[in-house]
Structure 1
């Protein structure tokens, strides 16, 4: 008798399937950033939220914004529902990627695939700083 196979085989994760069908000029860079973000903390899981790859611990904390596709945007947030802000979040952001929308929400704007590749470690550092303040 054959072993029962897992319902989701490797590469069949909903986010992987989403990415296979994604048409975006920075698709390769987004794929590299997805992998780096997931590898940054073993507790991170990934889903599709707002029609884009999204990362969560207990709640979602980072979601790609894929449109308009002129650049790569990663929204750092505290989930879908507003929460009281005890103190503003702070990021050590020497490259000026963060565009703050609220004291606890910002968008990392990466201008090109080349910038994403060259600043991958810095982007992961910003995500880790974000997680540490959740």
Structure 2
């Protein structure tokens, strides 16, 4: 599958530049890690936050919860599920929110930097389960 460049990719950088430090640095580090995880990952602002897609959207940052930064992993708009044991998570970062979504929390500034390799490992596996985009 070829990658599609989002016409809104520049708006992701603009969005992040408007964040206050140190959140801005953590969000940018997480963004770079996700984009470097696998070929064909695109990005745009969706649901008022940076969101990432291959065939469908599969990850969205959450910046306004009790935890300063979270990455919500999901399977797109079509109802589907993912077996928890199909995602190797040796560091125990995933908090499963349902059969089609999980969350990785970054509870303090600088936490992203210590988890990049683990996040990329999880994202590489997760995108294998994302449905292809249906034309139409």
> Is the 1:24–1:69 Cα contact (8 Å) retained in structure 2?
no
Match of 2:27 in 1: 30
Provide the residue aligned with 1:131 in structure 2. 127
Q: Deviations over 1:73-116 (max 9, x none)?
A: 0000012x24133x524322222221111112011112223221
Quick one: distance in 1 between partners of 2:80 and 2:57?
Answer: 16
Residue 106 of structure 2 corresponds to residue 76 of structure 1 = no
Post-superposition offset of 1:49: 0.8
Is it true that 1:109 corresponds to 2:105 in the alignment? yes
Distance 1:82 1:112 in 2: 33
Residues 23 and 68 in structure 2, CA contact (< 8 A), matched pair in contact too: yes
Give the Å deviation of 1:26.
2.2
Calculate the TM-score normalised by the size of structure 1.
Answer: 0.80
In 2, Cα distance between equivalents of 1:126 and 1:92? 7
State the 4+ residue runs in structure 1 displaced beyond 3 angstroms: none
Shift of 1:24: 6.0
- What's the counterpart of residue 88 of structure 1? 83
- Runs of 5+ consecutive residues of structure 2 not aligned to the other structure: 1-6, 131-136
Pick 1 or 2: higher relative contact order, CA cutoff 8 A, min separation 6.
2
Contact 2:67/2:106 (<8 A) preserved: no
The alpha-carbon distance between structure 1 residues 108 and 51, as it changes in their structure 2 partners (threshold 3 A), is same
Scaled by the length of structure 2, what TM-score is found?
A: 0.79
Question: Partners of 1:64 and 1:28 in 2: how far apart?
Answer: 14
What do you get for the CA RMSD once the two structures are aligned?
2.0
